[in-house]
Structure 1
Amino acid sequence: MEQEARPDPITEAALRSLKDIAVPQPVSWIPQTWGWMALALILLAAILLWALVLYRRWRRNAYRREALRLLDEIADDFRRQQTRDGAGARLGELLKRTALAAWPRKTIAAMSGTDWIDFLSANQGSDIGESLKSYLNDLEYRSGATPSADATNDLLRDARRWIERHHVSA
């Protein structure tokens, strides 16, 4: 058998006196200067402010989303023969309720006829559409008036456009 080589005593003493390598601390990911920290805080504040603005806008437009949902129900009522007669009155009521949600009651509640139509046109920024104008005039004097199928599509399109685009000043 082969004999195992034994290191000399000086080498053994030297090996025993060795210590592990000292590993440095890991490099931190935190920015080392205050400028980067300040920039990060400003960026975080800007993102939070932007999120707050979007949330407030979303909350402020809740009445529009509700009105559009009700408009879809009214459109379904116009398509069904059984509920077609009542859908026209509900459309006028929906426009008035939408306006009441956005403007003071004193301003909206007393409006009717051409004043109401002029108000709707003025706050959309453009004309509200001939079909909606004529229907609102007819609705005031002939409450049982039911538009034709073609006129119904134009009427619902104009009502949807007003609900989506009307401007409420601050």
Structure 2
Amino acid sequence: MNLSELHKTVFQQDSVSTKIPELENARLQEPAPIPFTFETIGWKILGIVILVSILIILLLWIRNYIKNRYRREALQELNIINTNEINETFRILKNTAIKAYGREKVGNLYGNKWLSFLEETGKEVKMLEFENAIFNSIYRDKKIDQNIYSRITENSKKWIRTHA
């Protein structure tokens, strides 16, 4: 007896089909599929947590949107202003600062202190470099160069968008 015949006889003797001939043509019976439903308590808890999270995020977004309304209005006013109306630009900035920081803190600021306040409270806002041009325009009624005015306006818009 060679190795392959020995192998066949050993495995055929161990085979279930040689012991029980009825199983040879029998079909394998699979269990019924387990239904996937959301009827357990864990899914309900997860659903509630997700809904509450979405509701909280939505409420925070709405609160932030309402809170920043004064910024949007100030930016609209700045966009409407005619060129070279520096007084109107700084009136809008002062009103916006009063709404954000209160009249007690901002109301008495003017001159260099006012421009320093704008630089300190805004991100990357540069107003002090235009100090002479601003004061000549406001107090001496001199016209500002259009390039300088547009840079002041851009810094004003940047301050409105970025102040704390």
Task: Determine whether 1:162 maps to 2:144.
Answer: no
Whole-angstrom CA distance in 2 between matches of 1:72 and 1:57: 23
SS of the residue aligned with 1:111? Answer: coil
Q: What is the aligned partner in structure 2 of residue 126 from structure 1? A: 124
Instruction: Please give the per-residue CA displacement for 1:124-150, whole angstroms capped at 9, x wherever unaligned.
Output: 1434245554444335532x2321121
Task: Determine whether 1:108 maps to 2:106.
Answer: yes
Confirm or deny: 8 A CA contact 1:129 1:158 kept in the other structure. yes
Note the C-alpha offset of 1:111: 0.7
Note the C-alpha offset of 1:56: 0.5
Runs of 4+ in 1 over 2 A off after TM superposition: 125-142
Instruction: Please give the per-residue CA displacement for 1:89-145, whole angstroms capped at 9, x wherever unaligned.
Output: 111111101101111111111111111111111101434245554444335532x23
Task: Determine whether 1:39 maps to 2:37.
Answer: no
SS of the residue aligned with 2:158? Answer: helix
Note the C-alpha offset of 1:35: 0.6
Confirm or deny: 8 A CA contact 2:86 2:138 kept in the other structure. no
The gaps in structure 2 that reach 5 residues or longer are 1-34
TM-score (norm 1): 0.69
Whole-angstrom CA distance in 2 between matches of 1:129 and 1:141: 17
* Structure 2 CA distance for partners of 1:146 and 1:45, relative to 1, 3 Å: same
Q: What is the aligned partner in structure 2 of residue 152 from structure 1? A: 149
SS of the residue aligned with 2:39? Answer: coil
SS of the residue aligned with 1:48? Answer: helix
Whole-angstrom CA distance in 2 between matches of 1:133 and 1:141: 12
Q: What is the aligned partner in structure 2 of residue 22 from structure 1? A: none
Aligned CA RMSD, in angstroms, stands at: 2.1
Whole-angstrom CA distance in 1 between matches of 2:131 and 2:68: 25
Q: What is the aligned partner in structure 2 of residue 23 from structure 1? A: none
SS of the residue aligned with 1:128? Answer: coil
Note the C-alpha offset of 1:29: 8.7
SS of the residue aligned with 1:120? Answer: helix
Confirm or deny: 8 A CA contact 2:116 2:127 kept in the other structure. no
Task: Determine whether 1:62 maps to 2:64.
Answer: no
Larger Rg: 2
Note the C-alpha offset of 1:57: 0.5
Whole-angstrom CA distance in 1 between matches of 2:137 and 2:80: 19
Confirm or deny: 8 A CA contact 1:124 1:165 kept in the other structure. yes
Note the C-alpha offset of 1:43: 0.4
